[in-house]
Amino acid sequence: MAEQNTSSVDDPSAEFLATTGLVTMLGAVVAGVIAVVTLSGGSVAASAALGALAAVSFAVSLACFAADSGRSEDGALPFPSWLRNDAEPAAELSALG
């Protein structure tokens, strides 16, 4: 049985980046929804503030996801190598047809 490298899976900074990205994305969605509801209620100033908060939260979440993606590109993939090569099965199928 092949031994799996779990060093990238157990990396606390990767967990922090992914969790922070998810939480800030959730915050962006909630702030955006509340901004739309507040705008329909007639409070333009509160809606603009919540809209700005949603935009900043969305940008922070994208930055976290981008940083997490850059860290994990160099690491080994957590599944067998035969799943990573998509060209061989396609070539075998075209040769059979």
Is residue 56 domain-resident? yes
Is residue 40 domain-resident? yes
Task: Say which residue the tokens 């969605």 belong to.
Answer: 29
73 or 41, greater pLDDT: 41
Per-residue pLDDT band for 12 (boundaries 50, 70, 90) equals: confident
Is residue 62 domain-resident? yes
DSSP string, the chain: -PPP--TTTT-HHHHHHHHHHHHHHHHHHHHHHHHHHHHHHT-HHHHHHHHHHHHHHHHHHHHHHHHHHHHHSSSPPSS-HHHH--HHHHHHHHHH-
Is residue 54 domain-resident? yes
44 pLDDT higher than 50: yes
Is residue 3 domain-resident? no
Per-residue pLDDT band for 18 (boundaries 50, 70, 90) equals: confident
Is residue 65 domain-resident? yes
Residue closest to 22 by CA, chosen among 77, 78, 82, 65: 65
pTM as predicted:
0.63
pLDDT mean across residues, the chain: 78
Burial environment of residue 72 by CB neighbours within 10 A (0 to 12, 13 to 18, 19 or more): middle
Q: What share of the chain in percent tops pLDDT 90?
A: 43
Is residue 69 domain-resident? yes
Q: Say how many domains are in the chain.
A: 1
Q: What is the structure's pLDDT at 1?
A: 45
Range of the domain at 38: 13-73
65-96 residue pLDDT tens = 888 887 766 566 555 555 555 555 555 555 55
93 or 1, greater pLDDT: 93
